A and B are shown apart, each in its own frame.
Chain A
Amino acid sequence: QVQLQESGPGLVKPSQTLSLTCTVSGGSISSGSFYWSWIRQPAGKGLEWIGRIYTSGSTNYNPSLESRVTISVDTSKNQFSLKLNSVTAADTAVYYCARYVAVALYFDPWGRGTLVTVSS
Chain B
Amino acid sequence: QSALTQPASVSGSPGQSITISCTGTSSDVGGYNYVSWYQQHPGEAPKLMIYEVTNRPSGVSNRFSGSKSGNTASLTISGLQAEDEADYYCSSYTSSSTPVVFGGGTKLTVL
Contacts and interface: CB of A to CB of B under 8 A. Distances in A.
Q: Give the secondary structure class of A's interface.
A: strand
Nearest to B52: A104
A108 B45 contact: no
A88 B48 CA distance: 31
A112 B45 CA distance: 5
A106 B35 CA distance: 8
Contacts of B2: 46
Contacts of A101: 51
B98 A62 contact: yes
Interface in A4-22: none
A44 to B, nearest CB: 10
A46 B91 contact: no
Contacts of B103: 46
Interface string A20-55: 000000000000000001000000001111001000
